[in-house]
Amino acid sequence: MKLSDIVHKHLWKIVVLLILAALVAWYVHDHYEDWSREKVVAYGKSLPVVWFLLAFLILPLLGFPISILLVLAGIRFGLGWGMVVAAAGVAVHNVSAYYLIHGWFRHPMRQRLERAGYGIPKIEGNHQIWFTILFAAIHGPPYAVKLYLLALTNVPLKIYFWAGAPVYLFFCLVPVGAGSAVMTFDPTWVYILITAMALLALGGQWLKKKYGGASSGKPTS
């Protein structure tokens, strides 16, 4: 398909995105002083602990971007305690998502996927660990979507949790570290985070290339 055909097909989407980008650019320019490091840190530090923890445990399961909460955790608690909060949140998210899908939501979600023409893959037993690690590591689907989609497969809870949760937690290091770096503004952390992001991206691509073919299961009817 030619570029002109793609533009013509998605013209209204492009126009909407350009308008949104212009509005965001105008807002950032008009409120530039409101985004100073001091004000961002002050906002993060002022978050009530109880309400923040409740939001961290609940909102990602509803589709809210977890990366925003991880950055705020780094600002509010620092790197060490921020990662403790992240570990607790990831554990709750994984267990909750698994039991939600294996309870009330399994049948409605399966029906929606089947109406959309998608089958639920059956993962062979000897591929379940690598499939879970790979699925958790590859960027693309949002965090909540990955949790729910993986729970729809036949992967058991012990593999779903112990193979998936550590991968999600590992990827929490960058946003929590970024929040902590904003608070301390240590240039060393900036270099460490840039290196970590590059290594995580390369690691995800390596896993996809090495195990992508081996860990794909047979789709069920």
Residue 219's pLDDT band (boundaries 50, 70, 90)? Answer: very low
The 3-state DSSP class for residue 121 equals: strand
Q: Does residue 164 share a domain with residue 214?
A: yes
Q: Does residue 109 share a domain with residue 13?
A: no
Q: Does residue 69 share a domain with residue 167?
A: yes
Looking at residue 183, what is its pLDDT?
Answer: 64
Query: What integer is the mean pLDDT of 92-118?
Result: 84
Report the range of poorest mean pLDDT among 84-88, 93-97, 117-121, 133-137: 117-121
Q: Does residue 57 share a domain with residue 24?
A: no
Report the range of poorest mean pLDDT among 5-9, 13-17, 99-103, 177-181: 5-9
Q: Which residue range(s) make up the domain with 4?
A: 1-35
What's the CA gap between 188 and 115, in Å, rounded? 51
What's the CA gap between 41 and 208, in Å, rounded? 37
Report the range of poorest mean pLDDT among 90-94, 159-163, 176-180, 205-209: 205-209
Q: Does residue 99 share a domain with residue 16?
A: no
Residues of the chain with pLDDT > 90, as a percent, come to: 36
Looking at residue 158, what is its pLDDT?
Answer: 96
The 3-state DSSP class for residue 142 equals: coil
Looking at residue 92, what is its pLDDT?
Answer: 97
Q: Which residue has the higher pLDDT, 9 or 137?
A: 137
Domain count, the chain: 2
Looking at residue 2, what is its pLDDT?
Answer: 47
Which of 132, 172, 151, 143 is closest to 62 using CA atoms?
Answer: 143
Which of 144, 138, 155 is closest to 209 using CA atoms?
Answer: 138
Q: Does residue 53 share a domain with residue 93?
A: yes
Q: Does residue 57 share a domain with residue 161?
A: yes
Q: Does residue 68 share a domain with residue 29?
A: no
Residue 84's pLDDT band (boundaries 50, 70, 90)? Answer: very high
Residue 75's pLDDT band (boundaries 50, 70, 90)? Answer: confident
Residue 164's pLDDT band (boundaries 50, 70, 90)? Answer: very high
Looking at residue 33, what is its pLDDT?
Answer: 56
Q: Does residue 77 share a domain with residue 28?
A: no
Query: In this predicted model, what pLDDT tens digit does every residue of 37-71 receive, in sequence order?
Result: 566 566 667 778 999 999 999 999 999 999 989 98
Q: Does residue 52 share a domain with residue 30?
A: no
Task: Give the mean pLDDT of the chain.
Answer: 77
Looking at residue 22, what is its pLDDT?
Answer: 67
Q: Does residue 55 share a domain with residue 110?
A: yes
Asked whether the whole model's pTM tops 0.85, one would answer: no
Looking at residue 220, what is its pLDDT?
Answer: 43
Long-range CB contacts (within 8 A, 24+) of 204-209: 204/137, 204/138, 204/139, 207/133, 207/134, 207/137, 207/138, 208/134, 208/137, 208/138
Looking at residue 131, what is its pLDDT?
Answer: 92
Q: Does residue 61 share a domain with residue 26?
A: no
